[in-house]
Structure 1
Amino acid sequence: MKQVFTLSWTVDNSFEGVAVREFLKEHDISKASLTDIKFRGGAIEVNGKHATVRYILQKGDEIKVAFPPEKASESLLPRAIPLDIVYEDEYILVLNKQPNMPSIPSREHLTWSLSNAVLYYYEENNINSTVHLVNRLDRDTSGLLIVAKHRHVHYLFSKAQKEHEIKRVYRAFVHGKLVGKETIEAPIGRKESSIIEREVREDGQFAITHYTALRQYSSFTEVALSLETGRTHQIRVHMAYKGYPLLGDTLYGGTNHLISRQALHSYELTFFHPFLQKTLSFTAPLPPDMQKLQIVKESRFF
């Protein structure tokens, strides 16, 4: 039997005499969620009995919210693709995505995507949800990302992401020799001649990337990068704009004689878990094709 997603609280002094509606608002239950609970099979209980949002709370009351079940889109099909699960609890998955796999289905990959794999995992483990990707990675970018197991959890993590409370550090290999560190602040927009390619342009969206050189090789450099914004292809565009395109990134001026895809990996992920009330941090080692770049001769550390 599939489980229903629920949340529960014990009312303390600060919420005595407050209506359930205000209590839930203060606990980040959105109006949309309340509408779903009311009309799509959810429930609100106080001390084990049904209650409306107008119920006035007393200290010690036990509130329980049962959210309505979620149903995946009929166009999203489950597929038995192995997942590299770095962390899991009842609220989220942290996954290490393999390279050469899109995050969501496309016309070219209707059933070969991370979302197809997650849906299959949910069905096999009786997780009553659809797929909520908190962040996505390009098809050829590997590494860490967060999947929320419920719409409300997705809402909280998306809110944290907009407020820059989810920190990601990437590793990349770029053409050329870099030293030190730099911040790139340059707006990014769609290139007029392409539906895929982006470029730095005055009318683009505000974008900031920080990079630090880690190790220099004969013709390329390993770098660590962090983002203050999350524009499409941001790292790839910014590094190409500075004259240091990613190895393997033929779309933005890189060459693929050392690696067949852009050499970009979501290496470290840190965030505050709103339900566990603590900060979690994870790292994922470089995949084999990027590890091979680290053994190229004529390198030196900084």
Structure 2
Amino acid sequence: MSEPREAHLPEEAAGQRLDAALAQLFPEYSRSQLTQWLKEGALRVDGASPRPRTPVRGGERVELIAPDAPVLAAQPEAIALDVLYEDAAVLVINKPAGLVAHPAAGHRDGTLVNALLHHAPELAQLPRAGVVHRLDKDTTGLMVVARTPEAQTALVRQLQARSVHREYRALVQGRVISGATIEEPIGRHPVDRKRQAVTGGGKPAVTHYRVAERFPAHTLLNVRLETGRTHQIRVHMAHIRHPIVGDLTYGGRPRPVKGMGEAAKATVAAFKRQALHAARLEFEHPTSGEPCAFEAPLPEDFEGLLAALRADARETGDA
């Protein structure tokens, strides 16, 4: 256990919900974490454990005995990381295809978390080793990782407030006429629990997309996430019948394209992952408050796929 901390709720907090006032008093912790400690008795207000929604009077004495963060069971592994930026508060990495974010059934090692623990051993003291948002195993591109509890809480709050800007490149099947916004709720698939789906009982999900480049039977899109649901871009693109190239989970096998040259057909068929790349990431630095912006170029296999489609479009006169 950490040393007990005592503080008083400010008088100007009068009338606020207790959980909101506590989040302002202890900004290094998330509101959900503080609420959990209230329920467990690790956080007491005037010697009691009131409900999170209890109105604050102002001036109450608060005592916090925060349990030590659990040490991750994952082991450090010398896995190469493409680190684009790092300081005492954050790491920004360019994740390759094939790298799972967290250890789980079937992926106990060889994950991003294992690599992070080798690169920065102190991350073992943070939930999820500081990872605040995920990319699917075969999605490439930018991720930000927190290095301190304060940074992790600040970044999670930015994600919840939808102030983190995330832009992706996605190659989809079919010719998309124009950009648009998809606003459809996403939740667990009613039959296949390993998949997500657009469903009335799901959580709100908003995806903005615009056309970057068109090919005879494919379209390269710039996609911006407003929310961050599991598999959101993949599910939304499949929902509008423009699944991402290579996404067998949501798009099925590639559609045969009449008139496409054999070289382009072979390149598309050989692309064995979803053609999705997190290309740009913007957030507010959790310590300095300064705006941060990062970009990651498309990986070689994605660039090769686009090159084959461009060459085919020139040869067929549809460039």
TM-score, normalized by length of structure 2?
A: 0.72
Selected match of 1:80 from 78, 103, 106: 78
| Equivalent position of 1:147 in the other structure | 145
Spell out, residue by residue over 1:72-122, the C-alpha distance to the aligned partner (whole angstroms, 9 max, x if none).
Answer: 322x11111000001101001011111111100122111111000000111
Structure 2 partner of 1:156: 154
1:279 aligns with 2:291: yes
Q: What residue in structure 1 maps to residue 210 of structure 2?
A: 212
**Equivalent in 165, 168, 173 of residue 167 of structure 1:** 165
Are residues 81 and 242 of structure 1, via their aligned partners in 2, closer, same or farther at CA, if it must alter by over 3 Å?
A: same
What is the CA-CA distance between 1:217 and the residue it aligns to?
A: 1.5
The residue that corresponds to 1:270 in the other structure is 282
TM-score (normalizing by structure 1): 0.75
| Matched positions, count | 257
Which residue number in structure 2 is paired with residue 228 of structure 1?
Answer: 226
- Partner SS state of residue 100, structure 1: coil
Q: What corresponds to 1:132 in structure 2?
A: 130
* More strand per residue: 1
Give unmatched runs, 5+ long, in structure 1.
1-14, 16-21, 40-52, 55-66
Distance in 1 of aligned mates of 2:207 and 2:224: 6
Which stretches in structure 2 are left out of the alignment for 5+ residues?
Answer: 1-9, 11-20, 43-59, 255-267
Percent identity, aligned pairs only?
35
RMSD: 3.3
Relative to structure 1, is the Cα distance of residues 134 and 23 closer, same or farther in structure 2, using a 3 angstrom cutoff? closer
1:71 and 1:200 map into 2 onto residues whose CA distance is 35
On the 8 A contact 1:103/1:113 being kept in 2, the answer is yes
**More helix by percentage:** 2
CA contact (8 A) 1:122 1:129 kept: no
Q: What displacement does 1:201 show?
A: 1.8
Contact 1:246/1:263, CA 8 A, preserved across alignment? yes
2:307 counterpart residue number = 295
Partner of 1:223, secondary structure, is strand
Cα distance between partner residues in 1 of 2:189 and 2:289: 42
Distance 2:174 2:107 in 1: 34
1:299 to partner: Cα distance: 4.3
Amino acid at match of 1:73: L
Shift of 1:165: 1.1
SS in 1 for 2:151: helix
Q: Displacement of 1:191 after TM fit?
A: 1.1
Structure 1 residues 189, 122: CA separation in 2 closer, same or farther (over 3 Å shift)?
same
SS of the residue corresponding to residue 269 of structure 1 reads: strand
Task: Work out whether residues 72 and 125 of structure 2, in 8 Å CA contact, stay in contact via their aligned partners in 1.
Answer: no
8 Å contact kept, 1:129–1:149: no
**How far 1:178 sits from its partner (Å)?**
1.3
